[in-house]
Amino acid sequence: MKLMRNILDRIKPHFEENGTLHKLYPAYDAFETFLFVPNHTTSSGTHIKDSVDLKRTMVIVIIALIPCLIFGMWNTGYQYFSQLTPDMNGYKDSYTLFDSFIYGFWKFIPLIIVSYAVGLAVEFAFAVNRKHQVNEGYLVSGMLIPLTMPIDVPLWMLALSVIFAVVVGKEVFGGTGMNILNPALTARAFIFFAYPTKMSGDKVWVSSAESIDGITGETALGQLASMVDINPTSQNIINKFGQFSSDGVYSLYNSFMGFVPGSVGETSVIAILIGAAILIFTGIGSVRIIFSMFIGGLLMSYIFNIFAPESNLFMSLNPFHQLCIGSFMFGMVFMATDPVSAAQTNTGKVVYGFLCGVLSILIRVFNPAYPEGVMVAILFMNVMAPLIDHYVIEANINRRKKRLQMKLLKS
């Protein structure tokens, strides 16, 4: 650390006023404040003082994402190796836990590099251009975006979606803290609608499925949606039911542990719950949003259970199972809790989370074209969050006005 400090101190004069590289001061500032606690003091207005600044907050979210990240890397390799047979290229007879992880690691690292490189480049460009500090928000988005993608997503698509998310999702509104929509979800929504063939079907969720015949993997949601889609035969339905029973591919146990195909970070509920525990313990993720969204999803699934026709597995799925498949959990813990785009008031957070949960399940079940209802639901609620806050605040003002009137009447 001392070494870093020395280097930073030595190059600092170049970036200060009259230095040759003064234009790039925001970039220097970003590195310095990332590595060391800054000694700036606030220049205007009244601020709440806290030892945890935005950069430190973001780092904790990254730490909370690590279980998902490691599990996702392992699962990538596991899904790939477990489908290989002797006549396939690159067949591995016996693969270990470590092999799977290493395979997934090398598959996933390029996604992270592209996401950070492109995203930070855009952020730096805006910071230099607008002469403000580089916003820290992208530290988390840059990790979240690759975690919501299928492992084989082409890198240029990823780069494009990152540019779209940072520019249209964030910088247009004025940068971190001003955005209406969650940037990570904006990236995912962009790529989902722009290149649907790369984001759905049974050829994208398992590594190299496109290049090697015989490897397929559909997400649980895709499987359920296809049932609604094609007017299935009764045999087909029984097969699908089997896949979701306790010894099927998408059993509750497999979905909970995460041994299923899917986006990199979303599959394992247990890894996500570890992340949730870190976020809740450190007070960075809102407990209100997480719990109310969970309850909203659960309640909606129960309601569907009651009205479900015999043949519709999507509706009659066990509510806990329903929440474990797809990216409901991932969205709940890491996307809905985004402090900028979520509701700000305490009551508002409860309402916001609850509606996120209800809408996620509703869209997922009733619109087979968009099986990933969580994404659409959270984006929609992001837009609604200021409205919820407005009514909560109005209600509070009215309540206090009434209280005042009562007091005046009494005295």
Q: Give the footprint of another protein on this chain (CB under 8 A).
A: 154, 156-157, 168, 172, 190, 193-198
Q: Which is nearer to another protein, 33 or 135 (CB)?
A: 135
Per DSSP, 23 falls in state G
What's the count of helices (H) and strands (E) in the chain, helices before strands? 17, 0
| Residue 157 or 287 having the CB closest to another protein | 157
Q: How far is the CB of 53 from another protein (least distance, A)?
A: 27
Q: How far is the CB of 393 from another protein (least distance, A)?
A: 19
Q: How far is the CB of 102 from another protein (least distance, A)?
A: 26
User: CA 193, CA 57: separation in Å to the nearest integer?
Assistant: 31
Q: Could you give the C-alpha distances from 94 to 75, 99, 217, 378, in angstroms and in order?
A: 16, 9, 21, 42
Q: Which two tokens stand for residue 183?
A: 């940037």
What is the smallest separation between the CB atom of 212 and another protein, expressed in angstroms? 17
* Tokens read off for 32: 């310095």
Contacts with 98 (C-beta within 8 Å, 6 or more apart), sequence order: none
Q: Which is nearer to another protein, 64 or 145 (CB)?
A: 145
114 vs 350 by CB, closer to another protein:
114
> Counting beta carbons within 10 angstroms of the beta carbon of residue 7, is it exposed (0 to 12), middle (13 to 18) or buried (19 or more)?
exposed
CA proximity to 262, closest of 385, 186, 148? 148
Integer Cα distance of 188 and 54 in angstroms: 24
Q: Report the residue number, 170 or 240, with the smaller CB distance to another protein.
A: 170
- Judged by beta carbon, residue 38 or residue 174, the one nearer another protein is 174
Nearer to another protein, 193 or 281 (CB): 193
* Amino acid at position 165, single letter: A
For residues 274 and 65, what is the distance between their CA atoms, to the nearest angstrom? 9
Which residue type is seen at 391? Y
Rounded to a whole number of angstroms, the minimum distance from the CB of residue 116 to another protein is: 22
Radius of gyration of the chain from Cα atoms?
24
- Nearest approach, Cβ of residue 150 and another protein (Å): 15
> Measured from the CB of residue 196, what is the shortest distance to another protein in angstroms?
6
Shorter beta-carbon distance to another protein: residue 154 or 177: 154
Count of Cβ atoms closer than 10 Å to residue 387 Cβ: 12
Q: How far is the CB of 197 from another protein (least distance, A)?
A: 8
Residue whose entry in the numeric block shows the structure tokens 């003082």: 49
Residue with tokens 């290989």: 84
C-alpha distance across the termini of the chain, in Å: 65
Minimal distance, residue 315 CB to another protein, in Å: 29
- In 3D space, the residue among 177, 183, 140 whose CA is nearest the CA of residue 165 turns out to be 183
**Between 168 and 287, whose beta carbon lies closer to another protein?**
168
